Amino acid sequence: MAELQIIVRDRFGQEARQTVTVEILRPPVVEPARLEGVGIEPQRVVRPRRRVLLGQILLEAAIVNQAQLQLALEEQRKTGERLGNIVLSMGLGTQDGIAAAIAQQLGIEFIRLADSAPDEAALLTVPEAIARRNQVIPIRERDRDLVVGMVDPLDIVAVDDLRRLTGFNIVPAVITLDDFHRALGQYPSMAGTVSEVIEEILPSQFVEEESAEVLRAVATEGPIIRLANLMILQAIRARASDIHIEPQEQRVRVRQRVDGVLYPTMTSPRHIQLALVSRLKIMANLNIAERRVPQDGRIELKVDGRPVDLRVSTIPTVWGEKVVMRVLDKSGAFVGVDKLGLQPEDRQRFEAIIGKPHGVVLLMGPTGCGKTTTLYAILNRLNTPQVNIMTIEDPVEYQMPGISQVQVNPLPGLTFVRGLRAFLRQDPDIIMVGEIRDDETAHIAVQAALTGHLVLSTLHTNDTAGAVSRLASMGVEPFLMASSMVGLIAQRLVRVLCERCREPYEPSDDVLARLSLARPATPLTFYRPVGCAYCNHIGYKGRIGIFEILPVDATIKPLIAHNAPAGEIRAAAIAAGMRTLQDDAVSKVINGTTSLEEALRVVLVEGGPMSLKRPAAPRQAAAPSLSDARGQV
C-alpha cells in the first residue's frame, strides 16, 4: 500500500488536493521510451526497461530463475538478440510457455495462429515489410480497433508506428515467433512475383558461353538479383534446409528440402540458369569465370531480421553448374530437452543417463537424424557454472555460451585424437566428441570416461545394440566398453502432421494386426496428411525425434563384457523395458503426431516383421510392450 497526493482539476478548472491510497500489485508496466526528435531509427533503440520487464515476467512465471536470467541478460548485452529468443536458445521454456506468461502478465490475449488465421483484410492494413521488421501480424479489425499479434508486445515503439500507419487503435496480442513466420507466408503469395520477375528476363540477353565481364553484368541486373533474393527468401520462409538449383536439358529446376524431403519449387527457362548461377556465385564470393571445377563458398544474409548463413557448393554437371545451398539458421539452433520428442517413460531414462557423473553416452543414427541437436540439448542441460564442458567437433555447428568448443583442424594437426589428449590436461568434467570415426578416438573416449569424465559422442550405426559391435570392430575391449558405457540412444526424425489439415481415420483391423496392436475397446484414430496453405500444401510441418534408449545397467553390462551378439543385447534390453524406435514411432502415430506412412518411411524396415507387406508375427504375450512381436531389425 502507498499513499499518494494527487491534484485533481474539476471541469471549471478548480484545483484540489486529494490523498488516495493505492495498492501496488506488481511493478509498473511499460514506460514509453521517448523517441521523438532524438534522431535514432526506432527499431535500433536499446530499451533497457523492457529487458528488465520481460525478465521479470519470465521470473514470475518460473520460466527462468535469477541466475539463468542474469546469464540471459548478459548474453543479450553481448549479442543484442531478443531476450525471449535467448531464453529459448538456452533450452528454458517453450515459445508457447513464454507467450502465455507474457499474455497473462500484461492481461492481453495469446493468439495461436494455428487456431485463428489472420483475416486477409486485416493483413492488408500493414505492409509485409513493416510486419516483418516489427515481428507483428495484423489479425482482425474490430470497429476502430486492430488486433495485432506481436512476438514482442512490450515493443511500444512498434505499437506507436502501427497506430500512425494504419489509423487504427492498436490492440496488442501475443503470438509466438513460429506463428509469426508462418503467418508471414500467408501474405499474398510470392509465387506470382517470381514468375513476373522471370518474365522480365529476356532470352535474347543470354548466350551460352559468356565472358566473365558479360556474366558479371547480367548477374547484377535488377531482375536477376530480385529472382535470386526471392528464391532464397521463399525457401527460408518455407523452413527449407537446402536449396538446389539444377540445370537440366530444357529447363532449370529449383527444389528445396523441407523436413528432410525435397520439393520442386520452380522451373524456369534455361536461359536463366547462367545468370542465376553467376548471381549466386557472386553472392558467395566464388569465381564466376571458373565453371569446370567444384567450388565452395558462403553467403551471409539477414532474412526477416534473422541472421542466416548459406553454405554454397557448386559442381559442373553435363547440363551446366549445379548449385546447392545449405541453410544454416543460427537462430533456430538449440532444441531444449523437453522439445526433442521424448515420451515420458523415455524422458526418465534419458535424464538418468545424462545425470551420471562419468561414463560414455553414445547417440546413434544415420546422417541428419538429429544427433547433434540432441547432443546440444544435453550439453545445454548440463551447462552450469560448476562444470567445465569441452567439445571437439568437425565442424562446430552451434555456438553455446559457457562451454569451450574446439574445431578440428587437420592441417596444423588438430585432429580429434590430439584435441582429446589435450582436453585431459584441461580439467574437463564433460567432454563432447562430435563423432567417433576411428579406433584411436574410440580408445581415448573410453579412457576419458574410465578416468572420471562424462563423454558424449555419436556413432554411425542404426540401433543401440549395434553400437557395441561397432566399437568392438574399432578394437575397444568388451570389458572396457562394459565398464565405461552408461547409455546408448538411437534416434530418427519423423515429420509432424500439420494440425490444421490432418485427416482422421480409423485404422483397419488388418493394419492394427500388422502393427501387432490388439484392437482396443474404444476405436483408435490415426491421421493422414492432407495439405493446406498453412503447411505449404505438404501435410506436415516440422519434425520431432523418435528414440530408443538403452541404459547400460547391471543386466546389460555382463552381456557387453562377454561379447554377446547385438540381438541378445537388444532382446535383454527389450525385456528390461526398452522402448524401441518402432515402439516410439507407433506411439506417435497413435497420438496423432505423425502418420503411419511417415512412421513406416522412417523406421520400419522393408520386409521386417512390421512391414505392412507381411503379416505380423503372432504376439507372444499380453505384455504392454509393442516390441516383443517385432524382435530384430
Question: Interaction with ligand ATP in 318-337: which residues (CB under 6 A)?
Answer: 335
Minimum distance of ligand ATP from residue 339's CB (angstroms): 7
Beta strands in 107-150 (DSSP E): 136-142, 145-150
Q: Which helix (H) or strand (E) holds 439?
A: helix 439-450
Task: Write the CB contacts of 547 (distance below 8 Å, at least 6 apart in sequence).
Answer: 340, 341, 342, 343, 346, 350, 489, 490, 491, 579, 581, 584
CB 600 within 8 A of CB 515: no
Rounded to whole angstroms, how far apart are CA atoms 566 and 468? 7
User: Which part of the chain contacts ligand ATP (CB under 6 A), choosing from 218-226, 275-283, 367-375, 523-531?
Assistant: 367-375
From candidates 273, 372, 457, 462, binder to Mg ion by CB under 5 A:
372
CB 113 within 8 A of CB 123: no
List the grid coordinates of 43: 527499431
Residue 232 within binding range of Zn ion, rule CB under 5 A: no
Residue 498, contacted partner among Mg ion, ligand ATP, Zn ion, none, CB below 5-8 A by kind: Zn ion
Beta-strand relationship, 540-551 and 389-393: unpaired
**Closer to ligand ATP by Cβ: residue 507 or 545:** 545
Exposed / middle / buried, residue 376 (Cβ in 10 Å: 0-12, 13-18, 19+)? buried
User: Which part of the chain contacts Mg ion (CB under 5 A), choosing from 279-287, 346-354, 364-372, 588-596?
Assistant: 364-372
Minimum distance of ligand ATP from residue 123's CB (angstroms): 29
Q: Which of 85, 91, 87, 82 is nearest to 58 (CA)?
A: 87
Residue 372 within binding range of ligand ATP, rule CB under 6 A: yes
441 phi and psi angles, rounded to 5 deg: -60, -40
**Closer to ligand ATP by Cβ: residue 278 or 582:** 582
From candidates 159, 266, 327, 498, binder to Zn ion by CB under 5 A:
498
Residue 571 within binding range of ligand ATP, rule CB under 6 A: no
From candidates 82, 371, 470, 492, binder to ligand ATP by CB under 6 A:
371
**Closer to ligand ATP by Cβ: residue 174 or 375:** 375
User: Which part of the chain contacts ligand ATP (CB under 6 A), choosing from 45-53, 175-183, 370-378, 448-456?
Assistant: 370-378
From candidates 501, 515, 604, 626, binder to Zn ion by CB under 5 A:
501
Residue 369 within binding range of ligand ATP, rule CB under 6 A: yes
Q: Give the residue carrying C-alpha cell 492432407.
A: 530
Rounded to whole angstroms, how far apart are CA atoms 29 and 46? 17
Rounded to whole angstroms, how far apart are CA atoms 305 and 326? 19
Residue 497 within binding range of Zn ion, rule CB under 5 A: no
User: Which part of the chain contacts ligand ATP (CB under 6 A), choosing from 90-98, 179-187, 463-471, 542-550?
Assistant: 542-550
- One-letter amino acid of 354: I
From candidates 104, 241, 313, 587, binder to ligand ATP by CB under 6 A:
241
Instruction: Determine the size of the site formed for Mg ion (CB under 5 A).
Output: 1
Residue 574 CB coordination number (10 Å): 22
From candidates 194, 493, 552, 626, binder to ligand ATP by CB under 6 A:
493
From candidates 57, 102, 535, 578, binder to Zn ion by CB under 5 A:
535
Instruction: Determine the size of the site formed for Zn ion (CB under 5 A).
Output: 6
Q: List the x/- string, 315-354, binding to Mg ion by CB under 5 A.
A: ----------------------------------------
Residue 117 within binding range of Zn ion, rule CB under 5 A: no
Residue 367, contacted partner among Mg ion, ligand ATP, Zn ion, none, CB below 5-8 A by kind: ligand ATP
Residue 258 within binding range of Zn ion, rule CB under 5 A: no
Residue 350, contacted partner among ligand ATP, Mg ion, Zn ion, none, CB below 5-8 A by kind: none
Per DSSP, helices labelled H in 61-187 are 66-79, 83-89, 95-106, 120-123, 128-134, 156-166, 177-184
C-beta nearest to ligand ATP: residue = 370
110: DSSP letter: B
CB 71 within 8 A of CB 91: no
Radius of gyration of the chain (CA): 28
CB 448 within 8 A of CB 423: yes
Q: DSSP letters of 405-425?
A: EEE-BTTTTB-HHHHHHHHTT
From candidates 306, 437, 500, 557, binder to Zn ion by CB under 5 A:
500
**Closer to Mg ion by Cβ: residue 75 or 393:** 393
Residue 421 within binding range of Zn ion, rule CB under 5 A: no
C-beta nearest to Zn ion: residue = 498
CB 99 within 8 A of CB 176: yes
Question: Interaction with ligand ATP in 277-296: which residues (CB under 6 A)?
Answer: none
Q: Which of 371, 365, 343 is nearest to 588 (CA)?
A: 343
Helices 222-237, 212-219: axis angle to 10 degrees equals: 60
Rounded to whole angstroms, how far apart are CA atoms 369 and 325? 19
Rounded to whole angstroms, how far apart are CA atoms 16 and 8? 5
Residue 241, contacted partner among Mg ion, ligand ATP, Zn ion, none, CB below 5-8 A by kind: ligand ATP
**Closer to Mg ion by Cβ: residue 329 or 553:** 329
From candidates 91, 320, 370, 466, binder to ligand ATP by CB under 6 A:
370
User: Which part of the chain contacts ligand ATP (CB under 6 A), choosing from 50-58, 201-209, 365-373, 568-576?
Assistant: 365-373
Residue 335, contacted partner among ligand ATP, Zn ion, Mg ion, none, CB below 5-8 A by kind: ligand ATP
Q: Which of 397, 396, 398 is nearest to 414 (CA)?
A: 396
Helix, strand or coil, per DSSP, at residue 221 = coil
Residues making contact with ligand ATP (CB under 6 A): 241, 335, 340-341, 365, 367-373, 493, 543-545
Residues making contact with Mg ion (CB under 5 A): 372
Residues making contact with Zn ion (CB under 5 A): 498, 500-501, 532, 534-535
